[in-house]
Amino acid sequence: MMNPLVEKLSRRDVVTDVEQAVLAELLDPPRAVAAGEDIVKNHSRPDHSTLLLSGLAARYVYLADGGRQITEIGVPGDFMDLHSLLMKQMDHGVLALTEVTVAGAPHGKLRAITEDHPHLTRLLWLDTIIDAAIHRQWLAAMGRRNGLGRFAHLIAELYLRLETVGLARDHVLELPLSQPVLGDALGLSAVHVNRLVAEMRASGMLKWTHPRVEILDWDRLVEVAEFDPTYLRLRKEAV
Amino acid sequence: MMNPLVEKLSRRDVVTDVEQAVLAELLDPPRAVAAGEDIVKNHSRPDHSTLLLSGLAARYVYLADGGRQITEIGVPGDFMDLHSLLMKQMDHGVLALTEVTVAGAPHGKLRAITEDHPHLTRLLWLDTIIDAAIHRQWLAAMGRRNGLGRFAHLIAELYLRLETVGLARDHVLELPLSQPVLGDALGLSAVHVNRLVAEMRASGMLKWTHPRVEILDWDRLVEVAEFDPTYLRLRKEAV
DNA sequence: CGCTTAATTGACCATAATCAACCAGGGTGG
DNA sequence: CCACCCTGGTTGATTATGGTCAATTAAGCG
Protein backbone atom coordinates (compact mmCIF):
# COMPACT_ATOMS: atom_id res chain seq x y z
CA MET A 1 0.00 0.00 0.00
CA MET A 2 1.24 3.44 -0.94
CA ASN A 3 2.02 5.93 1.77
CA PRO A 4 -1.19 8.00 2.10
CA LEU A 5 0.87 11.21 2.13
CA VAL A 6 2.39 10.39 -1.25
CA GLU A 7 -1.01 9.34 -2.49
CA LYS A 8 -2.47 12.71 -1.52
CA LEU A 9 0.43 14.81 -2.83
CA SER A 10 0.29 12.91 -6.10
CA ARG A 11 -3.24 14.15 -6.62
CA ARG A 12 -1.83 17.69 -6.75
CA ASP A 13 1.46 17.33 -8.61
CA VAL A 14 4.03 14.79 -9.71
CA VAL A 15 6.06 13.42 -6.80
CA THR A 16 9.32 12.13 -8.25
CA ASP A 17 10.97 8.89 -7.21
CA VAL A 18 13.71 10.86 -5.50
CA GLU A 19 11.14 12.86 -3.56
CA GLN A 20 9.26 9.72 -2.59
CA ALA A 21 12.52 8.27 -1.29
CA VAL A 22 13.22 11.43 0.71
CA LEU A 23 9.75 11.25 2.24
CA ALA A 24 10.15 7.57 3.07
CA GLU A 25 13.50 8.20 4.74
CA LEU A 26 12.04 11.19 6.60
CA LEU A 27 9.78 9.19 8.88
CA ASP A 28 10.52 7.54 12.20
CA PRO A 29 9.00 4.07 12.77
CA PRO A 30 5.20 4.17 13.14
CA ARG A 31 3.69 4.05 16.58
CA ALA A 32 0.12 3.55 17.82
CA VAL A 33 -1.83 6.02 19.91
CA ALA A 34 -5.05 5.06 21.68
CA ALA A 35 -8.32 6.87 21.03
CA GLY A 36 -8.71 9.94 23.21
CA GLU A 37 -4.98 10.34 23.85
CA ASP A 38 -3.09 13.51 23.02
CA ILE A 39 -0.74 13.22 20.05
CA VAL A 40 0.71 16.71 20.42
CA LYS A 41 0.15 18.85 23.50
CA ASN A 42 -0.90 22.46 23.26
CA HIS A 43 1.89 24.95 23.91
CA SER A 44 4.51 22.21 23.53
CA ARG A 45 7.62 22.74 21.40
CA PRO A 46 7.92 19.62 19.24
CA ASP A 47 11.23 18.65 17.65
CA HIS A 48 9.38 16.66 15.02
CA SER A 49 6.11 16.83 13.10
CA THR A 50 3.60 14.02 13.18
CA LEU A 51 2.13 12.31 10.14
CA LEU A 52 -1.15 10.45 10.53
CA LEU A 53 -0.96 7.03 8.86
CA SER A 54 -4.26 5.47 9.94
CA GLY A 55 -7.29 6.48 11.98
CA LEU A 56 -8.72 9.94 12.60
CA ALA A 57 -7.24 12.77 14.64
CA ALA A 58 -8.24 16.32 15.53
CA ARG A 59 -6.70 19.70 16.11
CA TYR A 60 -8.49 21.28 19.05
CA VAL A 61 -8.58 24.26 21.39
CA TYR A 62 -9.96 24.25 24.93
CA LEU A 63 -11.94 27.21 26.21
CA ALA A 64 -11.95 28.52 29.77
CA ASP A 65 -15.44 27.20 30.48
CA GLY A 66 -14.36 23.67 29.62
CA GLY A 67 -15.79 23.88 26.12
CA ARG A 68 -13.75 22.48 23.27
CA GLN A 69 -13.54 23.47 19.61
CA ILE A 70 -12.14 21.09 17.06
CA THR A 71 -10.67 23.15 14.22
CA GLU A 72 -9.79 20.36 11.80
CA ILE A 73 -10.22 16.65 11.46
CA GLY A 74 -7.13 14.87 10.18
CA VAL A 75 -7.34 11.84 7.91
CA PRO A 76 -4.53 9.45 6.94
CA GLY A 77 -1.86 11.24 4.95
CA ASP A 78 -2.26 14.48 6.92
CA PHE A 79 0.51 16.05 8.90
CA MET A 80 -1.14 17.15 12.14
CA ASP A 81 1.49 19.71 13.08
CA LEU A 82 3.74 20.35 10.13
CA HIS A 83 3.45 24.01 11.04
CA SER A 84 5.36 23.42 14.29
CA LEU A 85 8.51 23.24 12.14
CA LEU A 86 8.34 27.04 11.81
CA MET A 87 5.81 28.02 14.46
CA LYS A 88 8.04 26.39 17.09
CA GLN A 89 5.42 26.48 19.83
CA MET A 90 2.07 24.76 19.35
CA ASP A 91 -0.96 27.06 19.21
CA HIS A 92 -3.37 24.16 19.75
CA GLY A 93 -3.45 20.48 20.73
CA VAL A 94 -3.82 17.35 18.61
CA LEU A 95 -5.62 14.26 19.81
CA ALA A 96 -6.47 10.83 18.47
CA LEU A 97 -10.19 10.52 17.74
CA THR A 98 -9.87 6.81 17.07
CA GLU A 99 -6.98 4.47 17.60
CA VAL A 100 -4.36 5.81 15.21
CA THR A 101 -0.92 5.04 13.90
CA VAL A 102 1.42 7.97 13.42
CA ALA A 103 5.02 8.51 12.38
CA GLY A 104 7.29 11.35 13.43
CA ALA A 105 9.24 13.48 10.96
CA PRO A 106 12.22 15.09 12.73
CA HIS A 107 12.42 18.83 12.20
CA GLY A 108 16.09 18.52 11.31
CA LYS A 109 15.22 16.40 8.29
CA LEU A 110 12.29 18.60 7.32
CA ARG A 111 14.53 21.63 7.48
CA ALA A 112 17.05 19.83 5.27
CA ILE A 113 14.29 19.31 2.71
CA THR A 114 13.71 23.07 2.61
CA GLU A 115 17.44 23.49 1.89
CA ASP A 116 17.87 20.79 -0.72
CA HIS A 117 14.50 20.04 -2.32
CA PRO A 118 12.63 23.20 -3.34
CA HIS A 119 9.87 21.40 -5.20
CA LEU A 120 9.17 19.02 -2.35
CA THR A 121 9.24 22.02 -0.01
CA ARG A 122 6.54 23.64 -2.10
CA LEU A 123 4.44 20.48 -1.90
CA LEU A 124 4.69 20.47 1.89
CA TRP A 125 4.03 24.20 2.03
CA LEU A 126 0.95 23.62 -0.10
CA ASP A 127 -0.28 21.07 2.40
CA THR A 128 -0.25 23.69 5.17
CA ILE A 129 -1.90 26.15 2.80
CA ILE A 130 -4.75 23.71 2.31
CA ASP A 131 -5.12 23.43 6.07
CA ALA A 132 -5.74 27.18 6.07
CA ALA A 133 -8.22 26.81 3.20
CA ILE A 134 -10.10 24.15 5.16
CA HIS A 135 -10.20 26.47 8.15
CA ARG A 136 -11.68 29.21 5.97
CA GLN A 137 -14.45 26.92 4.77
CA TRP A 138 -15.23 25.94 8.33
CA LEU A 139 -15.26 29.62 9.29
CA ALA A 140 -17.75 30.49 6.57
CA ALA A 141 -19.90 27.57 7.67
CA MET A 142 -19.64 28.47 11.33
CA GLY A 143 -20.39 32.14 10.85
CA ARG A 144 -23.04 32.09 8.18
CA ARG A 145 -24.56 28.63 7.77
CA ASN A 146 -27.05 26.92 10.02
CA GLY A 147 -26.38 23.61 11.71
CA LEU A 148 -27.67 21.49 8.87
CA GLY A 149 -25.54 23.21 6.22
CA ARG A 150 -22.51 23.03 8.44
CA PHE A 151 -22.96 19.34 9.10
CA ALA A 152 -23.54 18.59 5.44
CA HIS A 153 -20.36 20.47 4.57
CA LEU A 154 -18.34 18.43 7.03
CA ILE A 155 -19.66 15.16 5.60
CA ALA A 156 -18.92 16.23 2.03
CA GLU A 157 -15.43 17.37 2.93
CA LEU A 158 -14.53 14.24 4.86
CA TYR A 159 -15.89 12.04 2.13
CA LEU A 160 -13.70 13.69 -0.51
CA ARG A 161 -10.62 13.75 1.68
CA LEU A 162 -11.01 10.08 2.59
CA GLU A 163 -11.72 9.20 -1.01
CA THR A 164 -8.49 10.95 -2.00
CA VAL A 165 -6.44 8.49 0.04
CA GLY A 166 -8.49 5.45 -0.96
CA LEU A 167 -10.46 5.17 2.27
CA ALA A 168 -13.91 5.93 0.93
CA ARG A 169 -15.77 5.23 -2.29
CA ASP A 170 -19.25 4.93 -3.75
CA HIS A 171 -20.48 7.67 -1.41
CA VAL A 172 -19.85 5.51 1.64
CA LEU A 173 -17.49 6.49 4.44
CA GLU A 174 -16.55 5.17 7.85
CA LEU A 175 -17.04 7.90 10.43
CA PRO A 176 -16.33 6.41 13.87
CA LEU A 177 -16.97 9.72 15.66
CA SER A 178 -19.37 10.19 18.55
CA GLN A 179 -21.99 12.91 18.44
CA PRO A 180 -20.25 14.89 21.21
CA VAL A 181 -17.09 14.93 19.08
CA LEU A 182 -19.03 16.02 16.02
CA GLY A 183 -20.57 18.76 18.15
CA ASP A 184 -17.13 20.02 19.11
CA ALA A 185 -16.18 20.13 15.45
CA LEU A 186 -19.35 21.86 14.33
CA GLY A 187 -19.65 24.31 17.19
CA LEU A 188 -22.95 22.69 18.20
CA SER A 189 -24.19 20.80 21.24
CA ALA A 190 -24.30 17.02 21.16
CA VAL A 191 -28.07 17.20 21.52
CA HIS A 192 -28.41 19.33 18.44
CA VAL A 193 -26.08 17.08 16.47
CA ASN A 194 -28.38 14.22 17.34
CA ARG A 195 -31.35 16.11 15.98
CA LEU A 196 -29.51 16.96 12.80
CA VAL A 197 -28.57 13.33 12.25
CA ALA A 198 -32.23 12.44 12.70
CA GLU A 199 -33.23 15.15 10.23
CA MET A 200 -30.73 14.04 7.59
CA ARG A 201 -31.85 10.45 8.01
CA ALA A 202 -35.53 11.36 7.80
CA SER A 203 -35.06 13.47 4.68
CA GLY A 204 -33.34 10.58 2.93
CA MET A 205 -30.14 12.55 2.42
CA LEU A 206 -28.03 9.87 4.04
CA LYS A 207 -28.08 6.55 5.81
CA TRP A 208 -26.28 6.68 9.14
CA THR A 209 -25.62 3.31 10.74
CA HIS A 210 -22.79 4.20 13.03
CA PRO A 211 -19.98 4.16 12.12
CA ARG A 212 -20.97 3.73 8.47
CA VAL A 213 -22.36 6.74 6.63
CA GLU A 214 -23.85 6.34 3.19
CA ILE A 215 -24.59 9.47 1.24
CA LEU A 216 -27.84 8.66 -0.56
CA ASP A 217 -28.28 12.01 -2.30
CA TRP A 218 -24.90 13.56 -3.00
CA ASP A 219 -26.35 16.39 -5.07
CA ARG A 220 -28.64 17.53 -2.30
CA LEU A 221 -25.84 17.23 0.23
CA VAL A 222 -23.68 19.48 -1.93
CA GLU A 223 -26.54 21.91 -2.35
CA VAL A 224 -27.40 22.10 1.35
CA ALA A 225 -23.69 22.47 2.20
CA GLU A 226 -22.96 24.88 -0.68
CA PHE A 227 -19.94 22.65 -1.10
CA ASP A 228 -17.32 23.84 -3.60
CA PRO A 229 -14.29 21.53 -3.56
CA THR A 230 -11.90 24.10 -5.05
CA TYR A 231 -10.30 24.57 -1.67
CA LEU A 232 -9.13 20.95 -1.44
CA ARG A 233 -7.01 21.47 -4.57
CA LEU A 234 -7.40 18.00 -5.95
CA ARG A 235 -6.46 19.02 -9.47
CA LYS A 236 -3.02 18.11 -10.71
CA GLU A 237 -1.10 21.31 -11.36
CA ALA A 238 2.66 21.78 -11.11
CA VAL A 239 3.78 23.91 -8.20
CA MET B 1 9.77 54.07 6.70
CA MET B 2 10.57 50.40 6.72
CA ASN B 3 8.55 48.07 4.58
CA PRO B 4 5.83 46.74 6.92
CA LEU B 5 6.46 43.21 5.66
CA VAL B 6 10.10 43.37 6.71
CA GLU B 7 9.08 44.96 9.97
CA LYS B 8 6.73 42.08 10.71
CA LEU B 9 9.11 39.31 9.62
CA SER B 10 11.85 40.89 11.72
CA ARG B 11 9.73 40.34 14.80
CA ARG B 12 10.00 36.61 14.16
CA ASP B 13 13.54 36.10 12.92
CA VAL B 14 16.51 37.96 11.50
CA VAL B 15 15.94 39.13 7.95
CA THR B 16 19.34 39.58 6.36
CA ASP B 17 20.29 42.50 4.15
CA VAL B 18 20.37 40.19 1.16
CA GLU B 19 16.87 38.94 1.97
CA GLN B 20 15.60 42.48 2.42
CA ALA B 21 17.02 43.34 -0.99
CA VAL B 22 15.35 40.31 -2.53
CA LEU B 23 12.02 41.33 -1.00
CA ALA B 24 12.42 44.92 -2.19
CA GLU B 25 13.19 43.75 -5.71
CA LEU B 26 10.26 41.34 -5.60
CA LEU B 27 7.53 43.95 -5.64
CA ASP B 28 5.88 45.72 -8.53
CA PRO B 29 5.18 49.46 -8.12
CA PRO B 30 2.49 50.18 -5.54
CA ARG B 31 -1.02 50.94 -6.69
CA ALA B 32 -4.11 52.26 -4.92
CA VAL B 33 -7.43 50.46 -4.63
CA ALA B 34 -10.61 52.23 -3.50
CA ALA B 35 -12.57 51.06 -0.47
CA GLY B 36 -15.06 48.34 -1.35
CA GLU B 37 -13.22 47.24 -4.51
CA ASP B 38 -12.06 43.68 -5.07
CA ILE B 39 -8.29 43.22 -4.87
CA VAL B 40 -8.37 39.56 -5.86
CA LYS B 41 -11.43 37.87 -7.28
CA ASN B 42 -12.67 34.55 -5.99
CA HIS B 43 -11.87 31.61 -8.29
CA SER B 44 -9.36 33.71 -10.24
CA ARG B 45 -5.91 32.35 -11.05
CA PRO B 46 -3.47 35.12 -10.14
CA ASP B 47 0.02 35.24 -11.65
CA HIS B 48 1.20 37.34 -8.71
CA SER B 49 0.49 37.65 -4.99
CA THR B 50 -0.60 40.93 -3.45
CA LEU B 51 1.08 42.61 -0.49
CA LEU B 52 -0.93 45.12 1.49
CA LEU B 53 1.14 48.27 2.15
CA SER B 54 -1.46 50.55 3.74
CA GLY B 55 -5.11 50.38 4.72
CA LEU B 56 -7.19 47.37 5.71
CA ALA B 57 -8.34 44.48 3.51
CA ALA B 58 -10.36 41.31 4.00
CA ARG B 59 -10.49 37.76 2.77
CA TYR B 60 -14.13 36.85 2.30
CA VAL B 61 -16.53 34.19 1.12
CA TYR B 62 -20.04 34.80 -0.20
CA LEU B 63 -22.86 32.45 0.69
CA ALA B 64 -25.76 31.49 -1.55
CA ASP B 65 -28.26 33.55 0.45
CA GLY B 66 -26.22 36.70 -0.12
CA GLY B 67 -24.56 36.47 3.29
CA ARG B 68 -20.86 37.14 3.53
CA GLN B 69 -18.23 35.81 5.89
CA ILE B 70 -14.94 37.62 6.32
CA THR B 71 -12.34 35.05 7.29
CA GLU B 72 -9.39 37.34 7.99
CA ILE B 73 -8.68 41.04 8.19
CA GLY B 74 -5.38 42.01 6.58
CA VAL B 75 -3.21 44.79 7.96
CA PRO B 76 -0.20 46.46 6.29
CA GLY B 77 2.60 43.97 5.80
CA ASP B 78 0.23 41.09 5.11
CA PHE B 79 0.19 39.17 1.86
CA MET B 80 -3.48 38.75 1.04
CA ASP B 81 -3.03 35.80 -1.30
CA LEU B 82 0.47 34.45 -0.94
CA HIS B 83 -1.13 31.03 -0.97
CA SER B 84 -2.20 31.50 -4.59
CA LEU B 85 1.43 30.84 -5.54
CA LEU B 86 0.80 27.14 -4.85
CA MET B 87 -2.98 26.95 -4.62
CA LYS B 88 -3.19 28.32 -8.19
CA GLN B 89 -6.92 29.01 -8.06
CA MET B 90 -8.33 31.34 -5.40
CA ASP B 91 -10.62 29.69 -2.86
CA HIS B 92 -11.97 33.08 -1.68
CA GLY B 93 -12.00 36.75 -2.60
CA VAL B 94 -10.03 39.68 -1.23
CA LEU B 95 -11.44 43.18 -0.99
CA ALA B 96 -10.29 46.59 0.22
CA LEU B 97 -12.07 47.58 3.43
CA THR B 98 -10.60 51.09 3.28
CA GLU B 99 -8.67 52.81 0.56
CA VAL B 100 -5.50 50.75 0.34
CA THR B 101 -2.16 50.64 -1.43
CA VAL B 102 -0.93 47.26 -2.55
CA ALA B 103 2.02 45.91 -4.48
CA GLY B 104 2.11 42.77 -6.59
CA ALA B 105 4.76 40.06 -6.21
CA PRO B 106 5.03 38.05 -9.43
CA HIS B 107 4.78 34.33 -8.89
CA GLY B 108 7.85 33.80 -11.04
CA LYS B 109 9.97 35.76 -8.60
CA LEU B 110 8.37 34.13 -5.58
CA ARG B 111 9.07 30.75 -7.06
CA ALA B 112 12.68 31.78 -7.64
CA ILE B 113 12.92 32.60 -3.94
CA THR B 114 11.87 29.06 -3.10
CA GLU B 115 14.67 27.80 -5.35
CA ASP B 116 17.46 30.11 -4.18
CA HIS B 117 16.66 31.39 -0.69
CA PRO B 118 15.56 28.59 1.66
CA HIS B 119 15.55 30.74 4.78
CA LEU B 120 13.47 33.47 3.19
CA THR B 121 11.18 30.75 1.87
CA ARG B 122 10.68 29.52 5.41
CA LEU B 123 9.83 33.05 6.54
CA LEU B 124 7.19 33.35 3.83
CA TRP B 125 5.89 29.87 4.57
CA LEU B 126 5.63 30.88 8.23
CA ASP B 127 3.51 33.84 7.23
CA THR B 128 0.93 31.55 5.61
CA ILE B 129 1.14 29.27 8.65
CA ILE B 130 0.18 32.17 10.87
CA ASP B 131 -2.79 32.87 8.60
CA ALA B 132 -3.95 29.35 9.43
CA ALA B 133 -3.33 29.96 13.14
CA ILE B 134 -5.44 33.11 12.98
CA HIS B 135 -8.20 31.14 11.28
CA ARG B 136 -8.08 28.58 14.08
CA GLN B 137 -8.49 31.25 16.73
CA TRP B 138 -11.42 32.70 14.86
CA LEU B 139 -12.91 29.22 14.57
CA ALA B 140 -12.66 28.63 18.31
CA ALA B 141 -14.24 32.03 18.92
CA MET B 142 -16.97 31.44 16.37
CA GLY B 143 -17.84 27.98 17.59
CA ARG B 144 -17.54 28.30 21.31
CA ARG B 145 -17.52 31.95 22.40
CA ASN B 146 -20.44 34.34 22.60
CA GLY B 147 -20.59 37.59 20.68
CA LEU B 148 -18.86 39.65 23.34
CA GLY B 149 -15.90 37.30 23.68
CA ARG B 150 -15.59 37.04 19.93
CA PHE B 151 -15.61 40.78 19.47
CA ALA B 152 -13.09 41.30 22.28
CA HIS B 153 -10.81 38.74 20.66
CA LEU B 154 -10.93 40.55 17.34
CA ILE B 155 -10.04 43.87 18.97
CA ALA B 156 -7.13 42.35 20.89
CA GLU B 157 -5.82 40.61 17.79
CA LEU B 158 -6.03 43.64 15.56
CA TYR B 159 -4.40 45.83 18.18
CA LEU B 160 -1.39 43.50 18.45
CA ARG B 161 -1.07 43.03 14.71
CA LEU B 162 -1.23 46.77 14.07
CA GLU B 163 1.18 47.44 16.91
CA THR B 164 3.61 44.98 15.31
CA VAL B 165 3.90 47.14 12.22
CA GLY B 166 3.95 50.41 14.12
CA LEU B 167 0.35 51.41 13.40
CA ALA B 168 -1.00 51.27 16.94
CA ARG B 169 0.36 52.00 20.41
CA ASP B 170 -0.72 52.88 23.94
CA HIS B 171 -3.81 50.66 23.52
CA VAL B 172 -5.22 52.92 20.85
CA LEU B 173 -6.01 51.76 17.33
CA GLU B 174 -7.66 53.16 14.25
CA LEU B 175 -10.46 50.87 13.14
CA PRO B 176 -12.26 52.48 10.19
CA LEU B 177 -14.67 49.57 9.78
CA SER B 178 -18.46 49.85 9.68
CA GLN B 179 -20.60 47.75 11.94
CA PRO B 180 -21.95 45.70 9.01
CA VAL B 181 -18.36 44.81 8.08
CA LEU B 182 -17.55 43.87 11.65
CA GLY B 183 -20.67 41.72 11.65
CA ASP B 184 -19.44 39.87 8.56
CA ALA B 185 -16.13 39.24 10.31
CA LEU B 186 -17.70 38.10 13.57
CA GLY B 187 -20.52 36.04 12.10
CA LEU B 188 -23.05 38.39 13.71
CA SER B 189 -25.72 40.76 12.44
CA ALA B 190 -24.94 44.46 12.25
CA VAL B 191 -27.63 45.12 14.83
CA HIS B 192 -26.01 42.80 17.30
CA VAL B 193 -22.59 44.33 16.68
CA ASN B 194 -24.12 47.67 17.56
CA ARG B 195 -25.40 46.31 20.85
CA LEU B 196 -22.04 44.80 21.68
CA VAL B 197 -20.28 48.09 21.01
CA ALA B 198 -22.75 49.76 23.35
CA GLU B 199 -22.13 47.09 25.97
CA MET B 200 -18.35 47.42 25.78
CA ARG B 201 -18.62 51.18 26.00
CA ALA B 202 -21.00 51.03 28.96
CA SER B 203 -18.83 48.58 30.86
CA GLY B 204 -15.83 50.89 30.50
CA MET B 205 -13.84 48.25 28.63
CA LEU B 206 -13.14 50.58 25.75
CA LYS B 207 -13.80 53.98 24.29
CA TRP B 208 -15.12 53.82 20.77
CA THR B 209 -15.20 57.12 18.90
CA HIS B 210 -15.29 55.91 15.36
CA PRO B 211 -12.79 55.27 13.88
CA ARG B 212 -10.63 55.54 16.99
CA VAL B 213 -10.79 52.71 19.52
CA GLU B 214 -9.09 53.09 22.86
CA ILE B 215 -8.77 50.01 25.02
CA LEU B 216 -9.34 51.29 28.54
CA ASP B 217 -9.02 47.96 30.33
CA TRP B 218 -6.66 45.67 28.44
CA ASP B 219 -6.62 43.01 31.15
CA ARG B 220 -10.36 42.62 31.12
CA LEU B 221 -10.42 42.61 27.31
CA VAL B 222 -7.90 39.76 27.34
CA GLU B 223 -9.91 37.93 29.98
CA VAL B 224 -13.23 38.28 28.16
CA ALA B 225 -11.56 37.25 24.90
CA GLU B 226 -9.47 34.48 26.47
CA PHE B 227 -6.76 35.98 24.30
CA ASP B 228 -3.48 34.07 24.13
CA PRO B 229 -1.09 35.71 21.63
CA THR B 230 1.02 32.57 21.08
CA TYR B 231 -0.60 32.09 17.70
CA LEU B 232 0.72 35.39 16.33
CA ARG B 233 4.28 34.16 16.92
CA LEU B 234 5.77 37.51 17.78
CA ARG B 235 8.79 36.00 19.51
CA LYS B 236 12.10 36.06 17.69
CA GLU B 237 13.15 32.50 17.00
CA ALA B 238 15.27 31.30 14.10
CA VAL B 239 13.38 29.26 11.52
C1' DC C 1 -22.64 -8.00 35.03
C1' DG C 2 -22.07 -3.35 36.73
C1' DC C 3 -20.25 1.07 35.13
C1' DT C 4 -19.50 4.74 32.01
C1' DT C 5 -20.32 6.96 27.84
C1' DA C 6 -23.28 7.74 23.92
C1' DA C 7 -27.83 8.16 21.70
C1' DT C 8 -32.33 9.79 21.99
C1' DT C 9 -36.31 12.59 23.25
C1' DG C 10 -38.97 16.31 25.59
C1' DA C 11 -39.45 20.77 28.03
C1' DC C 12 -37.81 25.11 28.62
C1' DC C 13 -34.53 28.95 27.99
C1' DA C 14 -31.17 32.34 25.82
C1' DT C 15 -28.37 34.36 22.50
C1' DA C 16 -28.68 36.52 18.58
C1' DA C 17 -31.53 37.15 14.07
C1' DT C 18 -35.05 39.57 11.85
C1' DC C 19 -38.17 43.26 11.22
C1' DA C 20 -39.07 47.95 11.69
C1' DA C 21 -38.55 52.67 12.62
C1' DC C 22 -35.86 56.78 13.14
C1' DC C 23 -31.85 59.76 13.02
C1' DA C 24 -27.35 61.48 11.33
C1' DG C 25 -23.99 62.43 7.94
C1' DG C 26 -21.92 62.53 3.43
C1' DG C 27 -22.42 62.71 -1.44
C1' DT C 28 -24.93 64.04 -5.61
C1' DG C 29 -27.80 66.09 -9.00
C1' DG C 30 -30.86 69.87 -10.01
C1' DC D 1 -27.35 76.04 -2.35
C1' DC D 2 -30.15 72.52 -1.11
C1' DA D 3 -33.25 68.60 -1.41
C1' DC D 4 -32.75 63.92 -1.85
C1' DC D 5 -30.73 59.53 -1.26
C1' DC D 6 -27.91 56.08 0.49
C1' DT D 7 -25.38 54.06 4.05
C1' DG D 8 -24.52 53.55 8.76
C1' DG D 9 -25.74 53.97 13.70
C1' DT D 10 -29.22 53.32 17.20
C1' DT D 11 -33.19 51.36 19.57
C1' DG D 12 -37.40 48.51 20.35
C1' DA D 13 -40.37 44.41 19.47
C1' DT D 14 -40.73 39.86 18.01
C1' DT D 15 -38.93 35.46 16.45
C1' DA D 16 -35.92 31.44 15.90
C1' DT D 17 -32.04 28.62 16.05
C1' DG D 18 -29.81 26.18 18.98
C1' DG D 19 -28.37 25.60 24.16
C1' DT D 20 -29.34 23.70 28.68
C1' DC D 21 -31.49 20.60 31.73
C1' DA D 22 -33.32 16.26 32.51
C1' DA D 23 -34.68 11.63 31.96
C1' DT D 24 -34.54 7.20 29.55
C1' DT D 25 -32.52 3.76 26.72
C1' DA D 26 -28.68 1.62 24.39
C1' DA D 27 -24.12 0.24 23.92
C1' DG D 28 -19.24 -0.48 24.84
C1' DC D 29 -16.03 -2.10 28.28
C1' DG D 30 -13.48 -4.12 32.14
Cβ neighbours of B237 in A, within 8 Å: 88
| pLDDT band for position A2 (cuts 50, 70, 90) | low
Please give the average per-residue pLDDT across B1-14, as a whole number: 91
Nucleotide nearest to B195 in CA–C1' terms: D10
Q: Look at residues B158, B194, B157, B189 and name the one whose alpha carbon lies nearest to residue B175.
A: B158
What is the pLDDT at residue A135? 98
Mean pLDDT (whole number) for A51-80: 96
pLDDT at A65: 86
Chain A: residue whose CA lies nearest to B186: A143
The per-residue pLDDT for A144 is: 96
B208 Cα to chain A: minimum distance (Å): 24
pLDDT at A172: 96
Strands of the A206-209 sheet, one edge to the other: A172-174, A212-215, A206-209
Is the pLDDT assigned to residue B166 strictly greater than 80?
yes
Q: Can you tell me the mean pLDDT for B178-207? A: 96
CA distance B195 to chain A (A): 18
Whether residue A216 is predicted with pLDDT greater than 80 in this model: the reply is yes
**For residue range A133-153, what is the model confidence (pLDDT) as tens digits?**
999 999 999 999 999 999 999
What pLDDT, on a 0 to 100 scale, did the predictor assign at position B121? 98
**pLDDT tens sequence across B52-103:** 999 999 999 999 888 999 999 999 999 999 999 999 999 999 999 999 999 9
**pLDDT tens digit string along B181-195?**
999 999 999 999 999
Q: For an interface test with A, which of B45, B68, B125, B137 has the most A Cβ atoms less than 10 Å from its Cβ?
A: B125
pLDDT-above-90 percentage for chain B: 97
| Substitution target from A131, A136, A236 for chain B, most B beta carbons within 10 A | A136
User: Cβ of B136 and A71 within 8 Å?
Assistant: yes
> Per the CB < 8 Å rule, is A121 touching B114?
yes
What are the chain A neighbours of B231 within 8 Å (beta carbons)? 91
> With helix as H, strand as E and coil as C, how does chain B read?
CCCHHHHHHHCCCCCCHHHHHHHHHHCCCCEEECCCCEEECCCCCCCEEEEEEECCEEEEEECCCCCEEEEEEECCCCECCCCHHHHCCCCCEEEECCCEEEEEEEHHHHHHHHHHCHHHHHHHHHHHHHHHHHHHHHHHHHHHCCHHHHHHHHHHHHHHHHHHCCCCECCEEECCCCHHHHHHHHCCCHHHHHHHHHHHHHCCCEEEECCEEEECCHHHHHHHHCCCHHHHCCCCCCC
Q: What is the pLDDT of residue B65?
A: 87
Instruction: Give residue B2's pLDDT band: very low, low, confident or very high (50, 70, 90).
Output: low
Global pTM reads: 0.96
Provide the pLDDT for residue B66.
Answer: 85
Residue of chain B whose alpha carbon sits nearest to that of A238? B86
Size of interface A-B (CB pairs under 8 A): 148
**A165-179 pLDDT tens trace:** 999 999 999 999 999
Asked if the model's pLDDT at residue A180 lies above 70, the reply is yes
Rounded to whole angstroms, the Cα distance separating A163 from A173 reads 8
Place B133 in a pLDDT band, splitting at 50, 70 and 90: very high
